[in-house]
Amino acid sequence: MIIAIGFGFRISTTLFTPLLYPDSVQYLYLAQEIQNGSFFHADYNLDQGFLHSRRLPPLYPFLLALAPGLTNYGEYIGAWISILFSLATFLPAFWLGRRLDSPAAGLLAAGLMTFPWFILRYASPVLTEATFTFFFTLALVMGYRAMDRKTAGAFALAGAFSSLAYLTRDVGITTVFVTGFFAAVRLALLDRIPWRRLGLFLAVLFAAFSLCSFPYWLHLRVHTGHWGLSSQVGNRTLGEYIMLYGGSRLDRDRLPGREEGTDSLEEATRTGEPAEPSLKSLPALAFKVLALSGDYAAAFNKKFGWFLSSILLLSLASSLVGMFRRAPTRPTVDELYFWVWILHFLALYALLTPYMVDERYLYPLTAPAALAGALGVVRLARRVGGRWFANSPGVIPLASGLVIVTAFVTLWPDFKIHYLRMSPKTLELKYASGYRKAARFVREHGLIPPGKTIMARKPFVAYYLRGQFELLPKTVKEVEQAAVQGKADFLAVDTFTLAMTRPLLLPLAYPDQPVPGVRVIYNQVFPEYRRVITFYDLKPSGPEPSCSSEHRTAAQHLRAAGLYLEQGRIYEGLVEARKVLAQNPEDVTARGLVMDAYRQYYLHSPSGPIPLSLFITTIKDYLEVNPDDRQVQQQFEKMMRLVEEVAPGVYMKKSNMH
């Protein structure tokens, strides 16, 4: 029942959240290379992939590669894989709850994993989050199982599943060491098994881990020339990362390479000299770990929800008090193993990153965190129930139900935004929105053939068009230089992405005055995503294709312009209307169509001075020719009053009708 409810929430989330992120495209391309066999070639270059890098852990792309139809339906295949692994995580969470306390704790943990927005947000995209969370939690389960059964087979399974976590994400390598350490402590000090037998168990644990991981290590040896544990950074560079500290997330500009406008430390170190370590002593390193652990914990608390985080902290406090008040026992070590499993992962990212990069890195802690909260609630209910209700069997279910309801109420703002108002105006805007439709139109009409290099801010359109990706520069001059130098064949821009990340390039999305020497081949308004998407041909050859026959009459041009505008193809509509204005500048209908074109630009784009100023200019031109149109005059005056309320004095002077 709980899994069915969780499945419903996860499926509904896919209706208004993206399935593709920039990392997703890398995984999908790597999976396609696994399918076609190029991944296994001796000349396979780790630094010449779709996004100039194939340095990714292999397990998740291999899972994607198992499915047919990856080229056309990759995002849907990846979404199903993520959803299934997210739901499968309920099972180890339930087992852990039953193992550490009772079935009620396991059921409550599964219930708390069904609906929090932070869990749902990354439960369906084509990312490693859901898959790694499953193997990360399952490795913890297998660690407990190995310590309970005390057999070589159980330790072999623990090592194998720790390897699967590591092969999904490199940071999973620590799971085998945490399991080995606590197995040694518990079996030697509490269970008092012979040292020879303990050594055998630990040897089997690490041997199984190494055996499962060896193909990956061999792959690194063949393609990098040296043995290593990660393809993303070398062993030497890893030490430099550890000793690098960039302060809080707001201090990113202090990092080496940020002054060059790079988007990440990885990009800065890959494109230039290795970053100079900023920490010179162990106390400074300890301060970095503590400071960034606090930053990551605060970010996790914000996303996970204050109520769930509160019961998590209460559970941690009660566990620590209980451990210090009694002598070390087997349950005490088991409890400590669970909390170290959570806290070591938090400290690990604080150690390996120079600043708090993204709360998404802590997504694998959602299952253990939900379980920790469930343990605290069940134990508190048992204590209170035993004192007030004489151990009534209904106390724990009642407390669990109250916690579920309270958690849902505290997360209500997210549900109100994302679930109850599923309309075009409240869709969550993401960088990929609209590009699949745009790419399908361009591909079906033969405007961009496969294999071409496409310059864009994000790699989605290059993936959909089966081309190569080139990063969009920051200024129009740099775009012109890139076009002259032949760095790319086509340019893809949209109003949302440019407004968020490249504001100086925003006029390119409205091709009223495009870059000299390039040609607009596609321009479309997407009202449901509030964005305009425009494609340019950076290497046009031959005469520019006409949107319609030059022998059409003015009425035919106007009719074609109206049809284009109805379809959201603004640029083509403007071309048709301006052909009429070139012959008759006073044509009221043509001016009205031009005004309507810019009105669509303004209404269906991120608000800002560029679409608004274009709209004001065109509506003024229209009213100067046709001053008797009272309906347009009233609409214009109403709009200007609204603008004046938002930005007093900014546009009213520019648009003074007299």
Distance in angstroms (rounded) separating the CA atoms of residues 163 and 199: 20
Element (H, E) at 520: strand 519-526
DSSP code at position 256 = T
* pLDDT number for residue 393: 56
CATH topology of 435-537 equal to that of 554-646? no
- d(Cα 132, Cα 140) in Å, to the nearest integer? 12
Question: Quick check: helix, strand or coil at residue 351?
Answer: helix
Q: Write the pLDDT tens digit of every residue in 321-331.
A: 666 666 666 77
Q: CA–CA distance from 630 to each of 431, 591, 633, 636, 656 (Å)?
A: 40, 16, 5, 10, 16
pLDDT in tens, 329-345: 677 778 888 888 989 99
Handedness of CA 221, 226, 229, 231 (dihedral sign): negative
What local confidence, expressed as pLDDT, does residue 640 receive?
63
| Angstrom distance (rounded) from CA 171 to CA 365 | 13
At residue 401, the pLDDT reads 67
Residue 374 has which token pair? 């469930």
Q: Is the pLDDT of residue 568 over 90?
A: no
**Pairwise pLDDT comparison (620 vs 589), residue with the higher score:** 589
Question: How does the average pLDDT of the chain come out, rounded?
Answer: 76
pLDDT at 144 over 90: yes
Q: Which of 296-300, 391-395, 615-619 has the least mean pLDDT?
A: 391-395
**DSSP-assigned letter for residue 492:** E
Which residues have a Cβ under 8 Å from the Cβ of 544 and sit 6 or more positions away? 519
572 to 65, 522, 552: CA distances (angstroms):
41, 8, 15
Local structure of residue 452 (DSSP, 8 states): -
Let me know how long the chain is: 658
Spacing of C-alpha 423 from chain mean position:
22
Domain ranges of the chain: 2-243+279-417, 435-537, 554-646
The predicted-structure confidence for 238-288, as pLDDT tens digits, reads as follows 677 777 776 665 444 444 433 333 444 344 343 434 445 566 677 888 888
- Class of domain 554-646 as given by CATH: mainly alpha
Question: What is the greatest pairwise CA distance in the chain?
Answer: 100
Range ranked top by mean pLDDT from 31-40, 199-208, 413-422, 513-522: 199-208
Residues 6+ apart with CB under 8 A from 337: 143, 144, 178, 182, 186
pLDDT digits 0-9 by tens, 58-84:
899 999 999 888 777 888 899 999 999
Per-residue model confidence (pLDDT) at position 420: 46
Sequence-ordered strand ranges (E) for 171-278: none
Q: Is the pLDDT of residue 384 over 60?
A: yes
Lowest mean pLDDT among 88-97, 403-412, 455-464, 518-527: 403-412
d(CA 155, CA 610): 63
Q: Which of the following CATH numbers is that of domain 435-537: 1.25.40, 3.90.1150, 3.40.50, 3.40.190? A: 3.40.190
Tell me, rounded to whole angstroms, the distance of Cα 121 from its chain centroid: 9
- Please report the pLDDT score of residue 638 as a whole number: 62
Name the DSSP letter for residue 449: -
Give the Cα separation of 137 and 132 in Å (integer).
8
Q: What pLDDT score was predicted for residue 658?
A: 33
The sign of the CA dihedral 222, 227, 229, 235 is negative
- 136: pLDDT confidence band, cut at 50, 70 and 90? very high
Q: Which residues pair with 520 in a beta bridge?
A: 536
pLDDT band at 92 (very low <50, low <70, confident <90, very high): very high
What band does 32 get if pLDDT is binned at 50, 70 and 90? Answer: confident
